[in-house]
A and B are shown apart, each in its own frame.
Chain A
């Protein structure tokens, strides 16, 4: 079977990532051989891998190369689930930014530099950010400014300031701006008060002005594309390190406290009795024990209460929620308690992450990243069916495409949470009954078990997706 390049890995002539026979490889091309060797010889690779800051790899035979330009083939440790910056909470983006700056400072100390500062070079593994682009390091040309400076500001700093100072939901701009939020847009959207913060004044506002001022000149002397004397020799190692530290100060000064939102407070503010919550938790764990699942997606996870229950049985749980505050709280708990098997992510289930980028192939849709072994959809279906008018049959169809098994909770109209949804609107959902729910889901799943949740009118189902789910 031949090599197949990853959709996002084609812009860089130094190498690319591809799969062959299901294994993941990174090819190093001849043009980058010297830089790659310098990176290894500097000791930086060993230092970063030891600190779990960079994905480790092993060099394998050149016979596995995808093209004749290869001088080395690396087999990196596989990232269990690829997530994207527009799916991260504030704290996750901030930690990814700090990791990038940490790497750049360590690289500078060894005479190297990061060639770029893309947020897509970072993934979350074992509850921590991990840099995945081994070919991002190269020897630093004496005096050269940091080529990744603008990219760092547009991928990390501007989104973080907007989330911190304007509205946390502005992280959604990263979904429409895959190359980062443009500096001029960020500068215009930020409140005037940010002009009084030296770090933000310099790295965002003056940076945006400098971009405009020099936009027509090119980066070279007289716009010929050759580096001018000033830009060739202008930045000493101390100044380069100073720039990184200044950026770190700007990032560290930003904070966002998740206030009590509807979902972040949901666990404390729902209609379950303790007995009902215990009964539900035990049923979920019991269902999972029979599945031998390796991965689970908890849809509508809130702050991750049932994700943690699932984690007792399943090694890797992705806890999706629509609420930035709930995801942030979940991530902070993952960090505080050193939880390695839970990855909290932002997701609007009614508008899940689509395939994005050139030819729709650079960033995968949620569906392309599945199917997962088991889906948890607890207290979610009534929000989709009644809150968003999504027919149950369509909900079932989508869930069957992204999960092999499904643990789902049906919440009847008599439940206070559903009554709340219907309080101010006409009930146009005659099929929203337990019978209607089962009929809709039988089109896509085999119902294995159904157990009532104690002290409630809810029912918990275990289902298996039927094999024909490609429509």
Chain B
């Protein structure tokens, strides 16, 4: 059936999607930074950790 999804519902989903994307982006960024700084450490230290 064709229903009126209403603007509020659509906007809320878009905002939620944006928030989820931001969370995903920051967690990805965190992983990248973590990987980068680990690569700076001497290999032996990294192995100990």
The chain A residues found within 8 Å of chain B, CB to CB, are 11-14, 115-116, 118, 133, 136, 145-151, 202, 206-207, 209-215, 217-219, 230-231, 234-236, 238-240, 242-243
Indicate whether A149 sits within 8 Å of B13 (C-beta atoms), given known contacts A214-B7, A218-B7, A239-B21. Answer: yes
Most buried by A among B2, B9, B13, B17: B9
Q: Is B8 part of the binding interface, using a Cβ–Cβ cutoff of 8 Å? A: yes
Q: How far is the CB of A226 from chain B (nearest CB, A)?
A: 12
**Chain B hits for A238, CB < 8 A:** 20, 24
- Checking A116, A136, A146 against B13 with a beta-carbon cut-off of 8 angstroms, the contacting residue is A146
Residue of A nearest to B13 (CB): A145
- Checking A14, A118, A213, A230 against B8 with a beta-carbon cut-off of 8 angstroms, the contacting residue is A213
The list of the 9 closest CB pairs from A to B, nearest first, reads A234-B14, A239-B17, A211-B8, A210-B8, A145-B13, A214-B7, A150-B9, A147-B5, A214-B8
Q: Is B40 part of the binding interface, using a Cβ–Cβ cutoff of 8 Å? A: no
Contact B1 A115 (CB under 8 A): yes
**Chain A hits for B41, CB < 8 A:** none
Contact A217 B7 (CB under 8 A): yes
CA distance A188 to B13 in the complex (A): 22
Q: How far is the CB of A271 from chain B (nearest CB, A)?
A: 50
Q: How far is the CB of B17 from chain A (nearest CB, A)?
A: 4
Q: Is B4 part of the binding interface, using a Cβ–Cβ cutoff of 8 Å? A: yes
CA distance A210 to B7 in the complex (A): 8
Contact B8 A202 (CB under 8 A): no
CA distance A239 to B22 in the complex (A): 11
CA distance A210 to B8 in the complex (A): 5
**Chain B hits for A219, CB < 8 A:** 4-7, 10
Q: Is B46 part of the binding interface, using a Cβ–Cβ cutoff of 8 Å? A: no
**Chain A hits for B33, CB < 8 A:** none
**Chain A hits for B3, CB < 8 A:** 115-116, 147-148, 151
Q: Is B29 part of the binding interface, using a Cβ–Cβ cutoff of 8 Å? A: no
- Checking B1, B11, B13, B16 against A118 with a beta-carbon cut-off of 8 angstroms, the contacting residue is B1
Contact B9 A211 (CB under 8 A): yes
Contact A234 B13 (CB under 8 A): yes
1/0 per residue, CB under 8 A from A, across B6-44: the answer is 111111111011101100100000000000000000000
Contact B11 A214 (CB under 8 A): yes
Most buried by B among A11, A212, A218, A235: A235
**Chain A hits for B9, CB < 8 A:** 145, 149-150, 207, 210-211
- Checking B4, B6, B16 against A239 with a beta-carbon cut-off of 8 angstroms, the contacting residue is B16
Residue of B nearest to A211 (CB): B8
Seed contacts A217-B7, A238-B20; 4 additional CB < 8 Å A-B pairs: A136-B1, A150-B8, A202-B16, A231-B14
Indicate whether A211 sits within 8 Å of B1 (C-beta atoms), given known contacts A202-B16, A234-B14, A243-B16. Answer: no
8 cross-chain CB contacts under 8 A: A145-B5, A145-B14, A150-B6, A151-B5, A202-B12, A215-B7, A231-B10, A239-B17
Indicate whether A13 sits within 8 Å of B12 (C-beta atoms), given known contacts A215-B7, A234-B18, A239-B17. Answer: no
Contact A207 B2 (CB under 8 A): no
**Chain B hits for A211, CB < 8 A:** 6, 8-9
**Chain B hits for A217, CB < 8 A:** 7
Residue of A nearest to B7 (CB): A214
Contact B12 A206 (CB under 8 A): yes
**Chain A hits for B8, CB < 8 A:** 150, 207, 209-215
